[in-house]
Amino acid sequence: GRPAMAAHFDDLPHRRGSHYSASSSASAGGGGAVGGAGGPESDAASVSDSGGEGKRGEALPSWRDVADTSPAWPSPRKFDAVMMEGKDAGGELRRAALPTALSGTASDDSVSERVVLNVGGRRFECFASTLSAYPDTLLGAMFMPRNRHLIKLDASGEVFFDRDPDAFSVILNFYRTHRLIVPPSLPHELVREECAYFQLPHADAKDTTEVLMWGRGEFGQLGSGDRRSTWMPQTVEVLRGVRVVQLSLGTSHSAALTEAGKVFTWGYGGDGRLGHGDQSDMLVPKALDVLADEHVVQVVCGELHTAALTDDGRLFTWGLGKDGRLGLGTTESHHVPRAVEFSRGVAITQVACGGLHTAALTSDGQVLTWGLGASGRLGHGDELDQMVPTLVRSLAGTPMQQVLCGGHHSAALSGDGRVFTWGFDDDGRLGHGVPGHQFVPKLVEALLMRTVVQIACGCWHSAALTSDGAAWTWGSCKSGQLGTAAKNSSATPRVVLQGKGGGIVSIACGTAHTAALARDGTVFTWGKHDDGRLGVESTADQTYPRAVTNLVERGLAVQQVVCGVYDTAVVAVSVDTFAGAATPRVGAPR
């Protein structure tokens, strides 16, 4: 796994680096099968579904330069055409032939034949003319009338592709909408690979992400080149043209990770938290040269320190070393990344930084914590500080898939979707029904009937995302950060968003605000709004989730959303990013 690029340009939070995710690791207008394998997707549908992955890298059949001597489409059934009204991509009313399967021979060419594609066990249905509008692609060439005699149908009258059905939803919607819209839940690497297989002209499109930030900027943490705060999302120009796959925000500094495994940091440089060898502020993102020879897969900002994880399981930390939060055996601060030592054979797959402590997940799902031990936030049953990574023994028999650090508490998500929390709690942030500090991890029983796929921790509240696309929050609500329409704190998880934008796919917590990413790429924010951290057209705190409409108006589909203490940021792509590289050829040669 790779860090959630919530989604994280990865799937929903899993073993490696799903600190905010996106999990990324979510549909941004992509179409999928209706009803799974049992119900073929119609040409009018655009609902994403989940599914397994097909094989990669098969040799592509050649559909080019075929002599124009082919007979009509060799359908095993005769189709009677019935008329179906709909709208084309331009919004104009059209009438299309909706075939009804009967017995007999193939339909004549005056009817738009309906074809069924079985991709990885999931059935997709569309008109042949939808595909042949792009004759320079694999499917377009296949379904040109002159080439149809080359197609072999299976016993069900379907064309089978042993490929990934989720990614194919994006591919098929390209033919329908003339845009390649990639949902946050799909890794871009997978989509590019499938684009290459189906020979879409956009397969090599790269460097298309855009990083936007808003909120407090007094230390340059917004990366805009100055120290101004902003109430609306603004593009980080230095990162334009750089393919960013993950962001992390601290109190006054920020970090970005590129697809190539390189790290950029910017903002307040005190205590060396930027890792550039000094304590200078950086008003725009600067590449972290010290890690130039490493392939980083996750970067995380704490309040006053930073951590980075490499693809071979090594962990580097830097910044303020007080209380042992760097895990280097001392309280000394470091201005450049330093490798954290672990027992021989231990590989780290995820790291989390809190206000004053740090946590990590090993390759076998064990949780390690270190730093300040006050109020039991390390989960060792006491309040002792730990200078080096130390196993949380009470969780040793339960493999975890995610670990998070809040301001003064911690949380972990088990492989089977259970949530454990521990640490400081005077406002219900642990979610155990009544406030109270916990010195060892304790199960959040209120979520036992749900399968949790991601967790998030703020300073005074917590959140969880369940498999049905619902967001849950609990803890302090003094600024409306629970999103339950009133500033009433809750020691029990309460659902706040369900079904919005096709379902929530990622959630993030700041100190006193919260953000969520919907399947359709919409970002919702709520809570404290001083300095503009919510990105909405209001100066008041928001007690209920509001869409950041500025992103929608700019034609951006968000891939990841993260919250800092006083700011918010997203990685986004234009919904028209891939449009224009090819246009449908309605009158293409037959």
Average pLDDT over residues 182-200: 80
CA distance 581 to 323: 54
Whether pLDDT at 24 is above 50: no
Q: Do 128 and 247 reside in the same domain of the chain? A: no
CA distance 512 to 461: 8
Query: Is 224 a domain residue?
Result: yes
Q: Is the dihedral of CA 431, 436, 438, 442 positive or negative?
A: negative
Structure tokens that stand for 393 in this block: 């023994």
User: How many other CB atoms are there within 10 angstroms of residue 149's CB atom?
Assistant: 14
Q: What is the CATH number of the domain that holds 135?
A: 3.30.710.10
Between 317 and 5, the more confident residue is 317
Q: How far is CA 364 from CA 402, 405, 452, in A?
A: 12, 19, 20
Q: What is the pLDDT of residue 530?
A: 86
Query: Is 7 a domain residue?
Result: no
Model confidence over 110-124: pLDDT tens digits? 335 888 999 999 999
Whether pLDDT at 50 is above 60: no
Q: pTM to 2 decimals?
A: 0.69
**Range with the lowest mean pLDDT among 201-210, 345-354, 409-418, 488-497?**
201-210
Whether pLDDT at 331 is above 50: yes
Three-state DSSP class for 215?
Answer: strand
Query: Is 17 a domain residue?
Result: no
Q: What is the CATH number of the domain that holds 414?
A: 2.130.10.30
Q: Is the dihedral of CA 478, 481, 484, 490 positive or negative?
A: negative
Q: What is the pLDDT of residue 19?
A: 31
**Range with the lowest mean pLDDT among 82-86, 171-175, 360-364?**
82-86
Q: Do 161 and 303 reside in the same domain of the chain? A: no
CA distance 244 to 42: 35
CA distance 230 to 236: 12
CA distance 174 to 468: 27
Query: Do the beta carbons of residue 358 and residue 369 sit within 8 Å?
Result: yes
Three-state DSSP class for 237?
Answer: helix
Pairing mode of beta strands 556-563, 567-574 = antiparallel
CA distance 465 to 467: 7
Pairing mode of beta strands 114-119, 159-161 = parallel
Confidence class for position 34, pLDDT limits 50, 70, 90: very low
| DSSP of 470-533 | EEEEEE--TTSTT-SSS---EEEEEEEEESGGGSEEEEEE-SSEEEEEETTS-EEEEE--GGGT
The distance in angstroms from the start CA to the end CA of the chain is 45
Q: Do 174 and 214 reside in the same domain of the chain? A: no
Average pLDDT over residues 449-476: 95
Query: Is 398 a domain residue?
Result: yes
Place of tokens 């029904």: 433
Run of H or E residues at 128 = helix 128-132
Question: Counting every residue, how long is the chain?
Answer: 590
Q: Do 143 and 229 reside in the same domain of the chain? A: no
Q: Do 225 and 328 reside in the same domain of the chain? A: yes
Whether pLDDT at 35 is above 60: no
Q: Do 135 and 248 reside in the same domain of the chain? A: no
Examine the fold and report which residue of 161, 180, 199 is the final residue of a domain before the chain moves on: 180
**Range with the lowest mean pLDDT among 80-94, 463-477, 493-507?**
80-94
Range of the domain at 317: 210-574
In the chain, the number of structural domains is: 2
Q: Do 471 and 376 reside in the same domain of the chain? A: yes
Whether pLDDT at 289 is above 90: yes
Question: Over the chain, what is the mean pLDDT?
Answer: 79
Query: Is 1 a domain residue?
Result: no
Q: Do 357 and 461 reside in the same domain of the chain? A: yes
